[in-house]
Amino acid sequence: MDENNENPPAPKPKRTRPPKFEPTTEQREQVQMMAACGIKHENVAKIIGCSYSTLRKHFKSELALGLDTANASIGSVLYQNAANGQPWAVCFWLKTRGGWRETNRTELTGADGQALPAATPVFAVTFAEETDTGGHDVGDVETSPRVTKADGDGG
């Protein structure tokens, strides 16, 4: 072979871009439903089969309004049930939207519904001085608690 007749290197193939992403109506509904359910956007992109940036670019509205749309849809069912007098719906609506709440109240009364007597202490704690009786020099006088009856009688 003649060294002067070498074949020139083949040109590098041009990089081709993937086709432009065109979301379908089905994909839009699917993204909106997943956003309403709280699925992470990164996972939504994987399920749809696109990159995260493509998802944000083409499904911005569906991602932003998915939860609100679902809440409106479910809320309208709740509202219709409450307006039609369904007790569970009325109760739920008033607790969550109307500011109502359930309360439990316990009242304590004395005999025959009279007021309870005022609480009186049964014991009081006082401090009495003690000294070392063993003949040892203990320095300052120590104090220790002594429990006595509240009316002043010795314990």
List, for residues 74-102, the tens digit of each pLDDT value.
999 999 999 999 999 999 999 998 988 88
Q: 65, exposed or middle or buried, with CB in 10 Å at 0-12, 13-18, 19+?
A: middle
- Average pLDDT (63-73) is 92
Q: Give the whole-number percent of the chain exceeding pLDDT 70.
A: 74
Give the orientation angle of helix 41-48 with respect to helix 25-36, to 10 degrees. 150
Residue type, 90: V
Q: Among the residues of 17-147, which ranges form H helices?
A: 25-36, 41-48, 52-58, 60-83, 87-96
pLDDT band at 155 (very low <50, low <70, confident <90, very high): very low
